[in-house]
């Protein structure tokens, strides 16, 4: 697999399991796009979590408090420099959320909704399929058709940020909502022509036309197209999200924000970002990466849509076993926690250790 | 040791050694303030360096090319997210620089000056002493006096970002140029009164009054004081440096930039930042942290001043054995490479493995 910027074949992933004396286990499994965080967890974040006074990790009902776990893990970390660290801490917080929801005997989305007082929480969420990772252009049409047959309405494909993108898209347009992902690779010299070429398609959104930290270029690109822009998957903190909002020229009636809670210190930091985005609707938040944890965040925080890698035979693809996509939606099964136990090919990896 | 934000007692560090078949060894020793990068190096950056075609790591004369080593290490890394990764890659590049300079039989600063065509390179550099890491306020006056006795002209002390800072400073002012470091801890509510209180001292600079990624607050603080502001030590990339310059409201006739090449992908990225800073003088660059590598960067790139931890009995403190600070300056000894071999208490650590 690759996108316009990198290949994924050597990318690693991390998983976390938290065990209680009462025999409950909370799991977390990595998001995608950043390398594994295992060593950082073992070297500094687990030791701090284990060194924290146990009571400091509990809420006033004596149940594990995931944001408190993330705070304990972050003791004596300098501000700034949000790269690998947010993903490692995010895994700890996510495993604590799975644990908390299991102790409460609730699906995670309901536990999140209770914790944060979400009004529009519900088990059924909109999802979209991510396709076209440059494996083979000839296979792309098949891949997209399979995703649509599987029940996905909106499909996103990778493009290269070149004027040849038009051909890739024209072969697929018309079958349903289509989004494209440039992974920051659009060259400023061709941008005006490229956006003009995209105008013939009514794209659901154009993702990351500019590199993630080039807010000025994002702002200029937003001026070049009426299509919704989506970005944020490579910003891993409240600090960076705030800068995107301050300087990126995004249009709050139209654009989409794709911060990934699992790569960004967890749900507590994500909710701080939501609160920062005054005037933005919750439906404009589309967390990056098709992980089960993100699906619960979409359901429990009332967000717009979850991403999915549609190939369910992969540990990372699809959703819970037996759960079907219908009309672009998925209903999260009524299981305690995230429900990793109900996706056999993924749970086999978690259980392995 | 602590600053206004964190304690350093559990902080780890990494070292890198590159060996050639000809028996030359290039070393790098970590900067300070971020946790060790060993696991990241072992998991992904070393394997990529070792997998690169050997010729791709050499310049046209067949000598190891440090920027090419950093590029090889960065294969298949997504853009954005500059946290731990820049420090790990920086160590590889730095070890390659030590190796290159040794092969050239040059002190590193001269090798850097040749590579980048620096006009104002020279072995003698200005240095300043970093003091007052909140060990004990009563010891601070002694610490500063010792640094001045040792030959340092300019001294920097840590402050808390509270209105009590005035007392800490008044006891020390008058002995010579004094800078203060707030480590991002100044509360916006008291900022106006705090800057007014600082006005009675002619401070050499005020460092990091705002958190590193809050460019808007940096901009507002710059409007509140005529004193030079210094910042940048917690920005680890060209991307982030560019955002500071775009949005931070810094005054190019006055303010100071403290990016740390060793924490920021190495010298090649640092030079890209220098080139970005049109209108800024080289003397306004004061690389963070008192490591020997930074001293060579100051000398070889014609920068303003190097930081020093004045306690030379520590592996991390002082400079090369026998080198004295005179009138606020240090002359880098004429040794090949960085000259780690000539600082016995540090080299003992490097040699150990």
- What is the tally of structural domains in chain A? 2
Instruction: Tell whether A272 and A344 lie within a shared domain.
Output: yes
Would an 8 Å CB–CB cutoff place B276 in contact with chain A?
no
Q: Is residue B1 included in any domain, yes or no?
A: no
- For residue A13, list chain B residues with Cβ-Cβ distance below 8 A: none
Residue A112 binned pLDDT confidence (cut-offs 50, 70, 90)? very high
DSSP-derived letter for residue B283 is: G
Instruction: Tell whether A53 and A201 lie within a shared domain.
Output: no
Residue A134: pLDDT above 90?
Answer: no
A147: closest CA among A177, A182, A183, A168?
Answer: A177
Residue B349: pLDDT above 80?
Answer: yes
Query: In whole numbers, what is the pLDDT of chain A averaged over residues?
Result: 94
B240–A10 CB contact, under 8 Å: no
- For residue A77, list chain B residues with Cβ-Cβ distance below 8 A: 6, 35
Query: In whole numbers, what is the pLDDT of chain B averaged over residues?
Result: 94
* Active-site residue, selected from the candidate residues B288, B291, B296, B343: B288
Residue B94: pLDDT above 90?
Answer: yes
What is the structure's pLDDT at B221? Answer: 98
B234–A39 CB contact, under 8 Å: no
Instruction: Tell whether B243 and B140 lie within a shared domain.
Output: yes
Whichever domain contains A87, its CATH number is: 3.30.390.10
| H or E element that contains B95 | helix B85-104
What is the structure's pLDDT at A352? Answer: 65
Is the CB of residue A6 less than 8 Å from the CB of residue B76?
yes
A243–B247 CB contact, under 8 Å: yes
Query: Residue B5 CB: number of other CB atoms within 10 A?
Result: 19
At A232-277, the pLDDT tens digits run 999 999 999 999 999 999 999 999 999 999 999 999 999 999 999 9
Instruction: Tell whether B77 and B137 lie within a shared domain.
Output: no
Would an 8 Å CB–CB cutoff place A43 in contact with chain B?
yes
Instruction: Tell whether B71 and B127 lie within a shared domain.
Output: no
Residue A30 binned pLDDT confidence (cut-offs 50, 70, 90)? very high
Chain-centroid distance of CA A320 in Å reads 17
* Active-site residue, selected from the candidate residues A37, A82, A102, A158: A158
Burial class (CB in 10 A: 0-12, 13-18, 19+), B123: middle
Q: Is residue A5 included in any domain, yes or no?
A: no
pTM of the model: 0.96
Q: Which residue of A has its CA nearest to B45?
A: A35
Mean of pLDDT values over B197-202:
94
Residue B178 binned pLDDT confidence (cut-offs 50, 70, 90)? very high
Instruction: Tell whether B82 and B193 lie within a shared domain.
Output: no
Round to whole Å and give the CA distance between A306 and A290.
Answer: 7
Residue in B12, B77, B246 nearest the CB of A216: B246
Residue A8: pLDDT above 80?
Answer: no
Residue B51: pLDDT above 60?
Answer: yes
The whole-angstrom distance between B323's CA and the closest CA on chain A is 32
What is the structure's pLDDT at A173? Answer: 76
At B114-131, the pLDDT tens digits run 999 999 999 999 999 999
What is the structure's pLDDT at A351? Answer: 86
Q: Which site among A9, A79, A242 would you substitute to test the B interface, given the most B Cβ atoms closer than 10 Å to its Cβ?
A: A79
Instruction: Tell whether B100 and B121 lie within a shared domain.
Output: no
Of B58, B76, B105, the position where a domain reaches its end is: B105
What is the structure's pLDDT at A259? Answer: 98
Round to whole Å and give the CA distance between B64 and B100.
Answer: 6
Would an 8 Å CB–CB cutoff place A83 in contact with chain B?
yes
Query: How many inter-chain contacts (A to B, CB under 8 Å) are there?
Result: 132
Of B74, B105, B136, the position where a domain reaches its end is: B105
At A86-97, the pLDDT tens digits run 999 999 999 999
Instruction: Tell whether B346 and B268 lie within a shared domain.
Output: yes
Q: Decide if A37 is catalytic.
A: no
Residue in A44, A77, A216 nearest the CB of B6: A77
Whichever domain contains B257, its CATH number is: 3.20.20.120
Would an 8 Å CB–CB cutoff place A216 in contact with chain B?
yes
Of A51, A80, A105, the position where a domain reaches its end is: A105
Instruction: Tell whether A58 and A121 lie within a shared domain.
Output: no
What is the structure's pLDDT at A135? Answer: 64
A108: closest CA among A120, A99, A116?
Answer: A99
Q: Which domain holds residue B93?
A: 15-105
Output helix, strand, coil percentages for chain B, rounded to the nearest 5: 40, 15, 45
Q: Is residue B111 included in any domain, yes or no?
A: no
Q: Is residue A6 included in any domain, yes or no?
A: no
Q: Which DSSP string do the residues of B176-200 spell out, in sequence order?
A: S-EEEE-TT---GGGHHHHHHHHTT
- For residue B32, list chain A residues with Cβ-Cβ distance below 8 A: none
> Sign of dihedral through CA atoms A256, A261, A262, A264?
positive
Q: Is residue A262 included in any domain, yes or no?
A: yes
Q: Is residue B131 included in any domain, yes or no?
A: yes
3-class SS string, chain A: CECCCCECCCCCCCEEEEECCCCCEEEEECCCCCCCCHHHHHHHHHHHHHHCCHHHHECCCCCECHHHHHHHHCCCCCCCCCCCHHHHHHHHHHHHHHHHHHHHCCEHHHHHHHHHCCCCCCCEEEEEEEECCCCCHHHHHHHHHHHHHCCCCEEEEECCCCCCHHHHHHCCCCCCCEEEECCCCCCHHHHHHHHHHHCCCCCCCEECCCCCCCHHHHHHHHHHCCCCEEECCCCCCHHHHHHHHHHCCCCCCCCEECCCHHHCCCHHHHHHHHHHCCCCCHHHECCCCCCHHHHHHHHHHCCCCEEECCCCCCCCCCCCCCCCCECCEEECCCCCECCHHHCHHHHHHHHHC
Residue B353: pLDDT above 60?
Answer: no
Residues of A (236-275) whose Cβ lies below 8 Å from B: 236-237, 239-240, 242-243, 246-247
Query: Residue B344 CB: number of other CB atoms within 10 A?
Result: 12
Instruction: Tell whether B158 and B285 lie within a shared domain.
Output: yes
Residue B314 binned pLDDT confidence (cut-offs 50, 70, 90)? confident
A84–B86 CB contact, under 8 Å: no
Instruction: Tell whether B246 and B273 lie within a shared domain.
Output: yes
A243–B246 CB contact, under 8 Å: no
The whole-angstrom distance between B77's CA and the closest CA on chain A is 7
Q: Is residue B264 included in any domain, yes or no?
A: yes
B234–A184 CB contact, under 8 Å: no
Q: Decide if A158 is catalytic.
A: yes
Would an 8 Å CB–CB cutoff place B77 in contact with chain A?
yes
Q: Which site among A83, A85, A245, A272 would you substitute to test the B interface, given the most B Cβ atoms closer than 10 Å to its Cβ?
A: A83
Q: Is residue B2 included in any domain, yes or no?
A: no
Instruction: Tell whether B313 and B345 lie within a shared domain.
Output: yes
């Amino acid at each position: 697999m690759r996108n316009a910027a990198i290949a994924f074949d050597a990318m690693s992933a991390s998983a976390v399991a938290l065990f209680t004396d009462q025999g409950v286990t909370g799991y977390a499994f990595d998001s995608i796009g950043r390398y594994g965080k295992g060593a950082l967890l073992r070297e500094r974040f687990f030791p701090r979590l284990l060194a924290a006074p146990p009571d400091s990790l509990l809420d006033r009902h004596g149940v594990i408090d995931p944001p408190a776990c993330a705070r304990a893990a972050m003791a004596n970390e300098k501000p700034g420099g949000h790269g690998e660290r947010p993903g490692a801490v995010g895994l700890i917080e996510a495993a604590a959320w799975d644990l908390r929801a299991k102790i409460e005997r609730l699906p995670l989305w309901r536990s999140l909704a209770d914790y944060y007082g979400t009004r529009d929480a519900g088990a059924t969420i909109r999802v979209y399929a991510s396709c076209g990772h440059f494996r083979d252009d000839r296979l792309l049409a098949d891949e997209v058709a399979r995703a649509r047959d599987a029940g996905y309405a909106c499909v996103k494909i990778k493009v290269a940020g070149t004027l040849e993108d038009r051909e890739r898209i024209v072969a697929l347009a018309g079958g349903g909502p289509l989004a494209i992902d440039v992974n920051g690779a659009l060259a400023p010299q061709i941008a005006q022509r490229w956006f003009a070429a995209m105008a013939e398609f009514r794209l659901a959104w154009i993702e990351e036309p500019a590199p993630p930290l080039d807010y000025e270029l994002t702002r200029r690109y937003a001026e070049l197209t009426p299509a919704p822009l989506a970005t944020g998957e490579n910003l891993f903190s409240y600090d960076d999200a705030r800068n995107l909002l301050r300087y990126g020229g995004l249009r709050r009636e139209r654009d989409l924000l794709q911060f990934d809670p699992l790569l960004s210190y967890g749900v507590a930091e994500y909710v701080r970002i939501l609160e920062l985005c005054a005037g933005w609707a919750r439906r404009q938040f589309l967390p990056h990466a098709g992980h089960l944890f993100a699906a619960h965040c979409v359901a429990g925080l009332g967000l717009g849509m979850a991403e999915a890698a549609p190939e369910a035979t992969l540990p990372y693809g699809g959703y819970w076993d037996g759960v079907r996509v219908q009309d672009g939606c998925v209903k999260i099964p009524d299981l305690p926690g995230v429900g990793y136990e109900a996706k056999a090919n993924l749970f086999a990896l978690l259980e392995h250790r």
